[in-house]
Amino acid sequence: MTPTALKPGDQFHFMESGLTFTTDANMSGAAQVSFRGQTVTVTDALLEAARDRLGTSWLDLMHDMQAQKARWGREMFRPGAAPESLTRWTPGTPEEDAARDEHLKVAYAIQDGAKRAVALQRVHATFGRKTTSTQIATYIGDR
C-alpha cells in the first residue's frame, strides 16, 4: 500500500454508499456514512482522521481499484468530483425504487395537468419501469 497522494483541496467521490468515515481526527462525533455520488473535498483533518495507528489510510487505496474490491468487495471511491451522470442510487437496487417513488410523489403533487404529465414523463425516462412491474409484465405477457 502506497501512501495517499491526496492533499488538502483535492476531491474524490464515492461510487457506492455505506462507507463510514470521519472528518475529525479526534473522533468527536463527526462520522459520516458515504452515499453514492457524494463528492468530498480533502482537508487536513480528513487526512489525519483516515490514518490508523500504523500510519496507513483507507485513502491509500484511491488509485487501486483491485485493492478496494479486495477490501470491500467493490470499488468504493474514485479521485475527482462525481460526474453529473452518477446517480445517488445503484440501478436495480431498492435505493433506485425509493428514488423513483419519491420522484413520482413529487410529480403527482403538481396541480397543473400538463406540467404533471411532463414531470411523469421525466421520471419514466430517468428510471424506466420498476423492477417488480417489469417482472409482472413479463410474466403476464408470456401467457
Domain check: are 23 and 75 in the same one?
yes
Domain check: are 96 and 124 in the same one?
yes
Domain check: are 103 and 70 in the same one?
no
pTM more than 0.75: no
Mean of pLDDT values over 36-41? 94
Lowest-pLDDT choice from 31-45, 84-98, 100-114: 84-98
**What percent of the chain shows pLDDT beyond 70?**
85
Identify whether 5 is part of a domain.
Answer: no
Tens digit of each residue's pLDDT (9 = 90 or more) over 18-31: 899 988 767 666 78
Is residue 70 within 8 Å of 76, Cβ to Cβ? no
Q: How many domains does the chain have?
A: 2
Q: Pull the grid cell for residue 23.
A: 472528518
Considering the chain, what is the average pLDDT of its residues?
86
Domain check: are 71 and 96 in the same one?
no
Instruction: Please report the pLDDT score of residue 139 as a whole number.
Output: 54
β pairing state of 31-33 and 77-79:
unpaired
More confident residue, 60 or 88: 60
More confident residue, 90 or 143: 90
Tell me the residue ranges of DSSP E strands in 10-76: 11-14, 20-22, 31-33, 39-41
Range of the domain at 128: 89-142
Q: Pull the grid cell for residue 10.
A: 483535492
